[in-house]
Structure 1
């Protein structure tokens, strides 16, 4: 099977490498020449445009940072829509507003190209070890065509129905991620300030009812303070927080825990932690608690 990957950053690059390791023929594209040069030496054929990726692949995965990037890849010069109708499916993996994905869907539909909304739950680091989950939505035929690819890059994949449901599910998941990440930091800071050993907290709490996926994944980052090796950078996470907040307001739901967590992320950004991992909220809470390590 030939698989295309457009957007070869932290997430897309990890996915492309896993596809190569799984035996797929992989063609990729990114606007960054440096990234293309690096991955071109790792078994990935580098195309000159998104259109060329679509012409070469049966399943095209897009992992992009912004609505503008998606619009350019789908309908800009050399975009996927220029490849025309064919037995291919585009799988949009990014976390973006549903309206932006729907606009892309309509453009591709006019060109006779199917598209799935299939955001990823997990960080770039988790993608390296295929410890991610995919929330796929759209046509069942498109899902079945892409299913073998999902098996090459993720530990699980859930088909959640009509186009857009994947993003709705991702927003709900990310609301929990936002809260649980802060909760993990808060618990660690309380434990350390009370005199407990940080590694002991990780081991003991991680084995009990108080643990969470974020405690397991980001707790070690907080304890080791390896924030510069980011799985999800704070400035990128800000985009996700804005999307979730807007989604909740549109549906008239109260999100008191999410709102409190968002205020702490904003404070961390204001403190200069823009390129660090989101686990860096632990450092902010340590400062607020006057905890010295």
Structure 2
């Protein structure tokens, strides 16, 4: 069993860290929220006062943080992980950040005799709890092999995406598509409802057309169609992911028409004060504006 550190104990990070403990590893943790740290300490983790202290206690350090700048600061900044982690140590970076940041932080760690494996995650906080996340992994093969016992505590589906930064490239690609599909769903459903169609009819028809998608079939029935926008995938984080994707697209010479449109809808929700609510709130905003409501009702069978 390994000495593992974990930095970032939010909605996803906290259950991921708990699963590392359940896997038999020792765990040192740091978060700016003392209550989040206290819950992990109660479960058996050791609290640290800085990322540097986490690094000094660990062979592997997992980071699960909101923005690229937070990742860079936690790893390479003053009192960062790199100041404490011994040579040969590995950072497992699991946030949703752009591949360029991932690669530059990894390059700096390798100069210091350390390494970085990028492994952002797919699925939801429910899967974080059960240890069944999808892992999109990038890095040097030897470092990935060493990190696998820790990764196996958190996910059961592993996709090897290539060298350093390629896990993050895959995650950004996934998230911009998933989020813009969600935004398109809310607009299309609101239009149909305002025209007088029912949600059930639209579901029945679209199941048999190219309009069907996992946001419509899986995500929205669990949240939006139940009237629930309690924190799950926060709008501010969705906006961050899409913004990073738009910037990456544009740096590659790709016009970001769809991404920028989706980002505008997310930014409008943030301006309205809903940044910490689940992305289901986008549907509710249109409902309130149009005087309609998309709620799941039991399907009535003919006859």
With structure 2 as the length reference, what TM-score do the two structures score? 0.85
Structure 2 runs not aligned, ≥5 long: 295-303
Q: CA deviation at 1:246?
A: 0.5
Aligned 8 A contact 2:56 2:86 in 1: no
Q: Compare 244-253 and 73-82 and name the one that shifted more.
A: 73-82
Aligned 8 A contact 1:84 1:112 in 2: no
Matches within 5 A, 1:259-270: 259-270=260-271
- Match in the other structure for 2:105: 104
Q: CA deviation at 1:206?
A: 6.5
**CA offsets per residue over residues 193-222 of structure 1, 9 Å max, x none?**
435256x86688679864433220233211
Aligned 8 A contact 1:62 1:90 in 2: yes
- Match in the other structure for 1:223: 225
Report the secondary structure of 2:100's partner residue. Answer: helix
Q: Quote the Cα distance in structure 2 between the aligned partners of 1:107 and 1:244.
A: 23
Pairwise CA RMSD: 2.6
Q: CA deviation at 1:62?
A: 0.5
**CA offsets per residue over residues 48-80 of structure 1, 9 Å max, x none?**
332332233332111112233223321233322
Q: CA deviation at 1:94?
A: 1.1
Matches within 5 A, 1:59-208: 59-190=60-191, 192-193=193-194, 194-196=196-198
- Match in the other structure for 2:301: none
Structure 1 runs (4+) deviating above 4 angstroms are 190-193, 200-210
With structure 1 as the length reference, what TM-score do the two structures score? 0.87
Aligned 8 A contact 1:81 1:107 in 2: no
Q: Quote the Cα distance in structure 2 between the aligned partners of 1:182 and 1:134.
A: 25
Structure 1 runs not aligned, ≥5 long: none
Q: Against the structure 1 CA distance between its residues 204 and 131, is the aligned structure 2 distance closer, same or farther, given a 3 Å change threshold? A: farther
Report the secondary structure of 2:43's partner residue. Answer: coil
Aligned length: 291
- Match in the other structure for 1:48: 49
Q: Against the structure 1 CA distance between its residues 113 and 154, is the aligned structure 2 distance closer, same or farther, given a 3 Å change threshold? A: same
